[in-house]
């Protein structure tokens, strides 16, 4: 995985959650998690920010208990 910093970051924030249970992480990771998060998923399938390994990392991030606050309230496509 060429984005080692993402794995390192996930380890760091998961450790931090142990002492800060209401942890809020803000930022733009420049990764579109799902097809609804990008204008044209087919033509961007091999584009940085929508690569399978990046999207898989986002899945792991959310599975560890974090929530995409925007997508939580905006489930429709083409809202970015």
Tokens matching residue 14? 């998961």
Q: Which residue in the list 7, 28, 37, 68 is annotated as catalytic? A: 28
Tokens matching residue 46? 């091999």
Give the gyration radius of the chain's Cα atoms.
13
- 28 flagged as catalytic: yes
* DSSP 8-state assignment for residue 27: -
Catalytic sites, residue numbers = 28
């Amino acid at each position: 995985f060429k984005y080692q910093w993402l794995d390192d970051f996930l380890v760091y924030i998961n450790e931090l959650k142990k002492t800060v249970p209401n942890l809020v992480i803000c930022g733009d990771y420049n990764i579109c998690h799902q097809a609804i998060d990008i204008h044209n998923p087919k033509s961007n399938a091999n584009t940085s920010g929508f690569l399978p390994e990046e999207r898989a990392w986002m899945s792991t991030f959310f599975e560890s208990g974090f929530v995409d606050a925007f997508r939580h309230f905006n489930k429709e496509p083409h809202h970015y």
